[in-house]
Structure 1
Amino acid sequence: MRLRLTEYTPRIGPHQRRVVRPRTPLRHTSLSAPEPIGLLLGDHDGLNRLAGLFSFAAYSRHTIVHVPLRDGVPPDEGWGERVDLVLAHHSVGLRASQWPELRRRLTHGTPLTVGTDEARTARDAESWRARQSHADVRDELRHATHARTFFLFGTRDVFAQTATEFAYAAGWGPRHKRVAEGHMAFMTAFTLAEPPGTGGHPLELDICYKAYPPYAHFRRPGERATRPRRPAAAS
């Protein structure tokens, strides 16, 4: 997949960060943080590009991926306050409390186009699934919510696994019944590791597909688009 991004390199103190954003917004995709269940609701374009962004994040250990989602088209169903999304490796050392200052410095960006390798992503996702079958191995997404932003911190393989889940949701969501009538379709859910010492239960983020209106234009994969009949010519 080709991703069209904007790249920023803000400096805070002695540290320079690399932050990328989608060059065009995901207009029909929204996110609410888990309290205790969150919802990511997106159309095919939004879910497909999120698959690419998670794949890019998996192999960009020193890059912060920022996906603005608060200012898209408001969803007509769902729950909770809308938030933006940030992806970062644990090794980046980003703290959620640092984000507002960093976000203010994202002012002068440069265009960037990158490609993702779906075969490599699938291999690393499979490696993650194989390791998770061992009770003593836990490689999970960790999270935080701050300043109307939802942060996911992970490793290469767990981001790759998440990318494949989004690709599945983008590919199979349009095939669900009743989505052509505007109903959302539940596709998958992510269990999120609870921060150490909280004593709480793991949280959940539901991933759902939803086509955007007008629904009369929606076609499932493989369906022929019907063209409007032209009026008969005057005799």
Structure 2
Amino acid sequence: MRLNLTEFRPRTGPREHRVVQPRDTLRHTSLTAPEPVGMILGDHDGLNRLAGLFSFAAYSRHTVVHIPLRDGVPPDEGWGQRVDLVLAHHSYGLRPSKWPELRHALTAGRPLSVRTDEARTERDAVGWRRRWGRADFRDHLRHTTHARTFFLFGSRDVFAESAMALAHAAGWGPRQERVAQGYSALVSGIAGLTQPPGGGHPYEVMVCFKAYPPYAHFKRPGA
């Protein structure tokens, strides 16, 4: 998949960062923070591009991926606080408390086009699933919400798994019943989120497909 991005090289103190954003807004895709249940709600284009951005993040250990999802069209359903999304590897060392300063420095970006490797992404996602459930499994997605932004910190394989979940929703969401009448459809979810100690309701981010109006223009594949 080809992604059109904007690349920034801001500095905070002595460190130079590499931050990328999608060049065009994901207009019909939104994210609500998990408190403890959140939701990604998007059309085919938005979910498909999100899948590509997660795949890019999986293999970009020294890059922060920032997806400004609050800039799109407000959804007409759902709950909770709408937030932007930031993806970064565990090893990057990004501190959410420093993000507002870093985001403010995102000026004078340059165009960047990259291609993702879906076959490699699928292989790494399968590897993650094979390890899931083992007693010594530690490859989770750490997460927090700060400054109206949802942060996910992970490894190559867990980001690849999330990319495949989003690609699945982009591909199968349009095939679900009643989506042509404007109903949303729960198709998948972001797996591997860290959970609070001591039990309680688990953190979840559901991935739902929803076509955007006018619905008369939307046709289910094969219909």
Structure 1 and Structure 2 fold alike (TM over 0.5): yes
CA-CA distance at 1:220 after TM superposition: 1.3
Residue identity over aligned pairs, in percent, reads: 71
Partner of 1:45: 45
Name the structure 2 match of 1:183.
183
Cα gap change, 1:111 to 1:13, in 2 (>3 Å): same
Bigger-Rg structure (1/2): 1
2:189–2:207 contact (8 Å) kept in structure 1: yes
Distance in 1 of aligned mates of 2:204 and 2:18: 29
After superposition, the C-alpha distances for 1:1-44 in whole angstroms (9 at most, x for unaligned) are 00000000100001110000000000000111011100110000
Displacement of 1:222 in angstroms is 3.1
Unpaired segments ≥5 residues, structure 1: 224-235
Give the match for residue 232 of structure 1. none
Normalization by structure 2: what TM-score? Answer: 0.96
Deviation of 1:189 after TM superposition, in Å, equals 2.1
Amino acid in the other structure paired with 1:212: Y
Question: Which residue pairs with 2:211 in the alignment?
Answer: 211
Residue 133 of structure 1, CA deviation = 3.6
Cα offset, 1:79, TM superposition: 0.5
Q: Any runs of at least 4 consecutive aligned residues in structure 1 with deviations exceeding 3 A, and if so which?
A: 198-202
Q: Which amino acid aligns with 1:60?
A: S
Alignment pair present for 1:35 and 2:35? yes
Once the two structures are TM-superposed, the CA of residue 200 in structure 1 deviates from its matched residue by 5.2
Count of residue pairs brought into register by the alignment: 221
1:81 and 2:81 are equivalent in the alignment: yes
* 2:10/2:102 contact within 8 Å kept: yes
Gap regions ≥5 residues in structure 2: none
Instruction: Map 1:195-210 onto structure 2 (within 5 A).
Output: 199=198, 201=200, 202-210=202-210
The whole-number CA distance in structure 2 between the counterparts of 1:51 and 1:178 is 24
The one-letter amino acid of 1:51's match is: A
Partner of 1:233: none
Which deviates the most, 103-112 or 130-139?
130-139
CA distance in 2, matches of 1:11, 1:194: 33
Q: Contact conserved, 2:184 with 2:208, CA < 8 A, in 1?
A: yes
| 1:131, distance to aligned residue in structure 2 (A) | 1.1
Q: Give me the whole-angstrom Cα distance separating, in 2, the residues matched to 1:46 and 1:66.
A: 14
